[in-house]
Chain A
Amino acid sequence: MITPSGLAETLLWGAANGSIYILLATGLSIIFGVMKLVNFAHGQLLMIGAYIAFATSTVLGLNAYFSILVSMGGVALIGLFVERFTFRKVLGTDKLNEIFVSLGLIYIFENAAVLLWGNKSAQIVSSLHGLLSIGGISISYDRLAAMGIVIAILVALMFLMKKTKIGLAMRATSQKSDTAMLMGINIEKVYIFTFALGAALAGAAGALYGIIFPFSPALGALPTIKAFAIIILGGLGSIPGAVVGGLLYGIAENTAGYLLGGIWPDAIAFVLLIAVLVIKPTGIFGGKGD
């Protein structure tokens, strides 16, 4: 039975789920936009982020929401090492090399997580409890907090991209890396910063995911697929595209589940992706590309 309040709740929850996808997809999109690098292990960074937040909140007793910062820092550091010692060696060579490096990283991250934390499901205990109910529509405080945090992070990201030197360098590199280099921009530093930034966003997404859902070392594959679908939907390399794509994806997924049944969300979300690609192959915010 479909009710107006049920449908409204579904849309709201879809937006909340979509906000986590937005963070993950934005990180992926930044890395692709600036480095033209396709990282299939991005979802594994989310998983590592969830575990770092879990470890800091359980072992150190840190508030779950403060652990997001630790997670961002930890995963950024991991991203820094990954860029320096793996992707940098193959960047600019055949695309297949980059893809296979990222596929290899999936196994390394998953196995490392099993070794460090075991393969049982875990969940970060949140200090927020209860529901906010307005006019028959309810949402948990954790999901509300997740949406607020994502908005804050995106605002900070926009500031970084628009108002700082490194942001300018990233945008310049994104548009034409050769020209940027000729203008004196240290491309290697931009790359390493970009990858660490993308990883930090994945870390934040992981911590939020871990507060809302249980997770395990095998978590990464599906979020990666969804993140790719979102950035293709929104337009490769476009941050606004990742934001709109993430929201659309989350809402489409949830609404499909509510209206058609629990076995349909993934199918409908991918139908949406295919429809956008057929109508506008570069995605909603995608340009003509290089």
Chain B
Amino acid sequence: MKTKLLAAIAAIIIIVVAAAIGTWQLTQPLSTLPSPSPTSTPSTSTTSTPSPDARPIKIGLVAGYQLAEGQDMDRAAKLAVEEINAAGGVYVAAWNTKVPIELVIADTGKDTAGETVGPVTRAVTEDNVDLLIGGYTSAGTLADQVVAIENRVPYIITGASSNLVTRRGPQGNYSGLAEGDTKRINDTEGMSYMFHYCTTTFDYSKTVVNFFAETMKPLLDSTYSFNTSRPLRLAVLYRNDAFGKGVLADTKKLIQANGLPIEIVVERPYQTTATSFQTDLTVVKDAKPDAVYVVDFIANTAEIIKEGQKDVGLNTVYIAVECVEDPQFYTLLGEYGDGVLLESKFAPYAGPPFYLPSIGTYVTNYQAKYNTLPGMMGADTYDAFFIAKAAIEQAGTVDKAAVRTAIEQINIPQMLIMTETGTVQFSTGTNYHEIAPITFIEQFTYNATLQECRPKIVYPATVPGIGTLKQADFVLPTSYQSGSP
């Protein structure tokens, strides 16, 4: 009896462990891309009557509602739709009228690869959406985008930090995937319906390493009288999945390609299921780094930074990546966030005044509607609705091929997400259907009244089209201990 029960429990545990690990592995991080700005709408003709074919435009929102990020995307999408509809809707020339947007929810749960295909299929084949927006995890998006590719539905992907989502076809040279790789998509036309409005792991890392080389290293050299030939000692602590490994690979690639004075003194992966990081932090501390690059999502990143200071006494400069730019990150960090750096592309906490007026408006409206500050994930999604509006108005029809072409040719002012050109434009060529976002570094300061940190942008000093971006100089935390001389 007991032996049989033991065997049954063991079998169930193995199945549950396998399912849990599978789920974690599939749940890769997201990143974000720049977004567009509202465009002027052609006035509706008053001399001719609207077409009887006129109907609301159906836009499918692909979001994991069991995730905080998915809920942020949902709120941002609803805000955008509300604003567009309140302004009259979207002008469709073929119908000779403005029509409202109807939001179709494709709830993908936790956005794992196994969960995304069903809801997106229903949105495409049963609800007949005109366009899709969203997608949070890379794994989930790589799975569900196949539905859009096969059905020729334009899809503006606002999460998924993997550039595979637009480069897995011939236009992106299959992103280097070997022939026969199941991730390759040989459907050239189908891939042309994919658009990536989000930053990638490469974008994150570029800003981070440039900050270290241009700002932190000179400060360390002058503060500690280090020889200028001494490289900055960087530790990378990352989740052991495609996201973490992607960031590490891009970081190394950038350091090597640009000959940057940065030495990675320790690379430390950990299980995606990990909840405690003391042993990893001890190994990092023993390597005596100048800074620690933490690559994970909200809860783990906050825990690593807290445990590092609270339990291990690793008093260094911690830098996190943008996917943690969310109200709960600030809450979880509390006082342990003081001096922490965050690479970001959207800074709802770093104002007012904001570097873009549109951010102030968005933050105000979002707070008024939801009584909380917005997260980063929603910003791309919000912008994407205005891109969709502009593209449909430019196409003059909801014909999917025409809308696809219009998105490809779009050229509208940046909105919440900054771009290198100040406009929203999708690239062609190998970097297929991507944007060129600008990201920056924020540094946190603890506010005892709020009992939370608030950030200021410390890098870069200026950006094209905006001018001064920097709000404060980067400073070493008060308890900072540098790495080995």
Do these two chains interact? yes
Residues of A participating in the B interface, judged by any CB pair closer than 8 Å = 1, 3, 6, 9-10, 13, 17, 38, 40, 95, 99, 114, 118-123, 125, 129-131, 133, 138-140, 143, 213-214, 216, 218, 221-222, 224-225, 228-229, 232, 236, 254-255, 257-258, 261-263, 265-266, 270, 277, 281-282, 286, 288-290
12 examples of A-B residue contacts, CB within 8 angstroms = A114-B66, A118-B68, A120-B68, A121-B68, A121-B302, A213-B276, A232-B10, A261-B268, A263-B271, A270-B17, A282-B6, A290-B2
Flag if A10 contacts B240 (CB, 8 Å): no
Tell me the bound Cα distance from A229 to B14 in angstroms: 10
Check: B368 CB closer than 8 A to any chain A CB: no
* Minimum CB distance partner of B303 in chain A: A214
Which of B210-218, B248-256, B310-318 forms part of the interface with chain A?
A: B310-318
Flag if A225 contacts B13 (CB, 8 Å): yes
**Given A254-B278, A254-B279, A262-B271, A1 contacting B10 (CB threshold 8 A):** no
Partner of A290, one of B1, B275, B276, B277: B1
**Given A121-B299, A229-B13, A10 contacting B279 (CB threshold 8 A):** yes
Interface residues of B in 1-52 (CB under 8 A from A): 1-3, 5-6, 8-10, 12-13, 16-17, 20
Check: B477 CB closer than 8 A to any chain A CB: no
Partner of B20, one of A129, A130, A225, A263: A225
Chain B residues positioned under 8 Å from A9 (CB to CB): 278, 282
Closest 6 CB pairs of A and B: A262-B270, A289-B2, A121-B299, A257-B279, A258-B279, A214-B299
Check: B328 CB closer than 8 A to any chain A CB: yes
B6, B67, B71, B278 interface centre (most CB from chain A within 10 Å)? B278
**Given A222-B20, A262-B280, A131 contacting B328 (CB threshold 8 A):** no
Tell me the bound Cα distance from A143 to B276 in angstroms: 12
* Minimum CB distance partner of A219 in chain B: B275
* Minimum CB distance partner of A266 in chain B: B271
Flag if A6 contacts B313 (CB, 8 Å): no
* Minimum CB distance partner of A133 in chain B: B313
Flag if A140 contacts B311 (CB, 8 Å): yes
Check: B286 CB closer than 8 A to any chain A CB: yes
Flag if B282 contacts A6 (CB, 8 Å): yes
Tell me the bound Cα distance from A16 to B152 in angstroms: 55
CB distance from B275 to the nearest CB of A (A): 5
Tell me the bound Cα distance from A160 to B219 in angstroms: 62
Known A-B contacts: A222-B275, A257-B279. Give 9 more (CB < 8 A).
A119-B71, A214-B302, A221-B20, A222-B273, A254-B278, A258-B282, A262-B268, A262-B280, A288-B2
Tell me the bound Cα distance from A288 to B2 in angstroms: 8
Flag if B283 contacts A258 (CB, 8 Å): yes
Flag if B66 contacts A119 (CB, 8 Å): yes
**Given A121-B298, A138-B313, A221-B16, A13 contacting B273 (CB threshold 8 A):** no
Partner of A228, one of B13, B276, B312: B13
Tell me the bound Cα distance from A64 to B48 in angstroms: 69
Flag if B68 contacts A140 (CB, 8 Å): no
Tell me the bound Cα distance from A280 to B290 in angstroms: 48
Chain A residues positioned under 8 Å from B66 (CB to CB): 114, 119, 218
**Given A9-B282, A95-B8, A121-B328, A263 contacting B269 (CB threshold 8 A):** yes
Tell me the bound Cα distance from A289 to B71 in angstroms: 49
**Given A138-B312, A263-B269, A216 contacting B274 (CB threshold 8 A):** no
Check: B84 CB closer than 8 A to any chain A CB: no
**Given A1-B286, A214-B332, A236 contacting B2 (CB threshold 8 A):** yes
Flag if A263 contacts B6 (CB, 8 Å): no
CB distance from A262 to the nearest CB of B (A): 3
Contact with A along B234-251 (1 / 0, CB 8 A): 000000100000000000
Flag if B310 contacts A40 (CB, 8 Å): no
Flag if B275 contacts A213 (CB, 8 Å): yes
Flag if B273 contacts A17 (CB, 8 Å): no
Check: B104 CB closer than 8 A to any chain A CB: no
Tell me the bound Cα distance from A191 to B71 in angstroms: 41
Flag if B240 contacts A3 (CB, 8 Å): no
Check: B287 CB closer than 8 A to any chain A CB: yes
Tell me the bound Cα distance from A118 to B375 in angstroms: 15
Chain A residues positioned under 8 Å from B71 (CB to CB): 118-119
Chain A residues positioned under 8 Å from B100 (CB to CB): none
Chain B residues positioned under 8 Å from A131 (CB to CB): 310-311, 313
Flag if B332 contacts A123 (CB, 8 Å): yes
Chain A residues positioned under 8 Å from B9 (CB to CB): 38, 228, 232
Check: B334 CB closer than 8 A to any chain A CB: yes
Chain A residues positioned under 8 Å from B3 (CB to CB): 281, 289
Flag if B312 contacts A263 (CB, 8 Å): no
Interface residues of B in 109-150 (CB under 8 A from A): 110
Chain A residues positioned under 8 Å from B278 (CB to CB): 9-10, 13, 254
Chain B residues positioned under 8 Å from A228 (CB to CB): 9, 13
* Minimum CB distance partner of B68 in chain A: A120
Flag if B1 contacts A289 (CB, 8 Å): yes
Chain B residues positioned under 8 Å from A123 (CB to CB): 332
